[in-house]
């Protein structure tokens, strides 16, 4: 396969040839952590099932492995007949002992320094899904270890049709207000100009998700996936934008009642309430210094990692030379990449009367605040705010610094892809020997 060997993403021993057996043994010994599963309802829903609206459930491995069976299983207030389960976005370093993390190596794709400690784990039952969003940092490699998972991807040019939102707020994630599990007639019409692609990953497939590509992910059956985020040289610019957004959100959540905070924040961002004025100042200072000095690694970045609640696997940086070398190796495998097929989005037949949302003015203060957050957090607006912040922050400093900032703005804040980006399209690699993707 053009020099690319198998990607070691299983935890097999001499007497274990099942990808899921190691997880089963671990979970039988200690089970999953309490309330670590997200539970959502199956079927068409008018609203996206955000993490904050899902149930938190405690699940055993035995129950999880039988969840997709036809026989009814009751868990607390939910049943497997109409609920799905998702153990999503878990750092593998928190799930497996250190010696086992080394077995999840990404070396075959050109990243020998990456293993389980830099990866996240996703285990879901049939119909479990991740809402449509894009990651503001870097790009993404996803390996399907067990089962099948459907991906719908949109290029960055489709952003204007996808109604981007920063509510619920999660650092480095921009969500779509459109619920792809249940498209209304009006949403389907709005998306008719989009150019989505669709692929169903099977065991052994690795999907390359380019920078700022939107993606909606749904388990077709019980599935296990492992991913790692690959940093890009220009992520420092995005970090400044995210620092600005984080400051805005901090101000917003401190103006609403405690009962309303959960409407604005993703559950993993509640610690944002504890950020002090000094924390925010340091965050803005360090992120702007990164851009002005064109550093990809510095003390400011370490501070951002410490202050932000985003997973460390998304925040860790590589030196630029490592990035270029690694993607050169990826490019040697282009001939084994499957071209993803275009798809057409249609309204959900399961949605009662093909419900259409009416455009109405906000009815309460929370709605107005949400619209304000989305206006400020819109990618185009946030880009210009960050640009102006940089110019104001360095007024009066050396002309060479200002010149550097203006170059950064002119070349990177215009939304174009730099020449260093080796892939403009999503790509799928087969990395388990002897299997062809169908």
User: Does residue 183 have a pLDDT over 50?
Assistant: yes
Per-residue CA distances from 6 to 143, 270, 424, 431 (Å): 12, 40, 24, 5
Q: What is the dihedral of CA 288, 290, 291, 295, to 10 degrees?
A: 170
Indicate whether 303 belongs to any domain: yes
Select the more confidently predicted residue: 94 or 49.
Answer: 49
- Position 236 scores a pLDDT of 86
Confidence grade of residue 318 (pLDDT, cut at 50, 70, 90)? very low
Out of 82-86, 165-169, 292-296, 333-337, pick the least confident.
333-337
Out of 366-370, 384-388, 431-435, pick the least confident.
431-435
User: Does residue 379 have a pLDDT over 90?
Assistant: yes
Give yes or no for a cis peptide into 251 (omega within 30° of 0): no
User: Does residue 65 have a pLDDT over 90?
Assistant: no
Select the more confidently predicted residue: 50 or 420.
Answer: 50
- Position 338 scores a pLDDT of 57
Q: Does residue 223 sit in helix, strand or coil?
A: strand
Indicate whether 73 belongs to any domain: no
- Position 16 scores a pLDDT of 40
Q: What percent of the chain has pLDDT over 70?
A: 67
Count Cβ atoms below 10 Å from residue 401 Cβ, excluding itself.
15
Work out how many domains the chain is built from and give that number. Answer: 1
Indicate whether 297 belongs to any domain: yes
CB-based contact 120:227 (threshold 8 Å): yes
CB-based contact 305:315 (threshold 8 Å): yes
Nearest to 309 by CA among 88, 91, 48: 91
Q: Which of 55-64, 303-312, 337-346, 427-436 has the highest mean pLDDT?
A: 55-64
| Domain of 286, in residue numbers | 235-314+362-412
Confidence grade of residue 157 (pLDDT, cut at 50, 70, 90)? very high
Indicate whether 269 belongs to any domain: yes
Out of 68-77, 286-295, 302-311, 383-392, pick the least confident.
302-311
Count Cβ atoms below 10 Å from residue 217 Cβ, excluding itself.
25
Confidence grade of residue 235 (pLDDT, cut at 50, 70, 90)? confident
Q: Does residue 180 sit in helix, strand or coil?
A: coil
Indicate whether 307 belongs to any domain: yes
CB-based contact 222:68 (threshold 8 Å): yes
pLDDT, mean over the chain: 77
Confidence grade of residue 55 (pLDDT, cut at 50, 70, 90)? very high
d(CA 319, CA 305): 16
Helix then strand count (H, E) for the chain reads: 13, 17
Q: Does residue 415 sit in helix, strand or coil?
A: coil
The DSSP H or E segment spanning 144 is strand 139-146
Indicate whether 383 belongs to any domain: yes
The predicted model gives 141-149 an average pLDDT of 94
Indicate whether 145 belongs to any domain: no
CB-based contact 122:143 (threshold 8 Å): no
Confidence grade of residue 417 (pLDDT, cut at 50, 70, 90)? very low
Indicate whether 344 belongs to any domain: no
- Position 345 scores a pLDDT of 78
Instruction: Give tens-digit pLDDT for 3-35.
Output: 222 233 333 333 444 444 555 555 444 456 777
Instruction: Give tens-digit pLDDT for 70-102.
Output: 899 999 889 999 999 999 999 988 888 888 888
Quick one: DSSP state of residue 432? S
Residues 6+ apart with CB under 8 A from 50: 131, 168, 266
């Amino acid at each position: 396969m053009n020099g690319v060997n198998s990607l070691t993403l299983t935890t097999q021993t001499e007497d274990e040839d099942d990808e899921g057996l190691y997880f089963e043994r671990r979970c039988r010994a200690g089970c999953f952590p309490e309330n670590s599963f997200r539970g959502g309802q199956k079927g068409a829903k008018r609203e996206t099932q955000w993490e904050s609206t899902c149930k938190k459930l405690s699940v055993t491995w035995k129950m999880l492995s039988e969840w997709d069976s036809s026989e009814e299983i009751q868990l607390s207030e939910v049943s497997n007949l109409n609920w799905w389960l998702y153990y999503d976005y878990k750092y593998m370093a928190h799930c497996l002992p250190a010696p086992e993390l080394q077995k999840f190596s990404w070396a075959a794709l050109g990243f020998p320094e990456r293993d389980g400690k830099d990866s996240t784990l996703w285990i879901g039952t049939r119909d479990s899904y991740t809402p449509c969003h894009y990651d503001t940092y870097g790009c993404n490699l996803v390996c399907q270890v067990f089962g099948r998972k459907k991906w719908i991807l949109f290029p960055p040019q489709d952003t204007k049709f996808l109604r981007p939102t920063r509510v619920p707020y999660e650092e480095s994630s921009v969500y779509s207000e459109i619920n792809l599990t249940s498209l209304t007639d009006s949403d389907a019409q709005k998306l008719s100009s989009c150019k989505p692609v669709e692929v169903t990953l099977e065991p052994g497939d690795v999907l390359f998700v380019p920078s700022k590509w939107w993606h909606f992910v749904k388990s077709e059956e019980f599935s296990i996936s492992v991913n790692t985020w690959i940093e890009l040289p220009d992520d420092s610019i995005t970090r400044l934008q995210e620092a600005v957004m984080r400051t805005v959100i901090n101000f917003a959540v401190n103006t609403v009642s405690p009962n309303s905070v959960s409407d604005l924040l993703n559950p993993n961002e509640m610690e944002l309430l504890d950020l002090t004025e000094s924390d925010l100042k340091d965050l803005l200072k360090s992120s702007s210094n990164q851009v002005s000095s064109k550093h990809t690694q510095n003390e400011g970045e370490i501070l951002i990692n410490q202050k932000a609640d985003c997973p460390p696997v998304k925040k860790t940086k590589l030196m630029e030379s490592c990035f270029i070398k690694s993607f050169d190796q990826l490019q040697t495998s282009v001939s084994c990449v499957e071209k993803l097929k275009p798809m057409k989005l249609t309204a959900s037949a399961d949605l009662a009367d093909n419900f259409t949302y009416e455009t109405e003015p906000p009815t309460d203060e929370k709605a107005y605040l949400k619209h304000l957050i989305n206006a400020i957090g819109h990618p185009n607006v946030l880009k210009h705010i960050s640009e102006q912040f940089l110019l104001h922050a360095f007024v009066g400093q050396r002309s060479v610094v200002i010149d550097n900032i203006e170059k950064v703005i002119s070349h990177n804040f215009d939304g174009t892809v730099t020449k260093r980006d080796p892939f403009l399209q999503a790509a799928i690699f087969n990395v388990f020997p002897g299997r062809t993707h169908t």
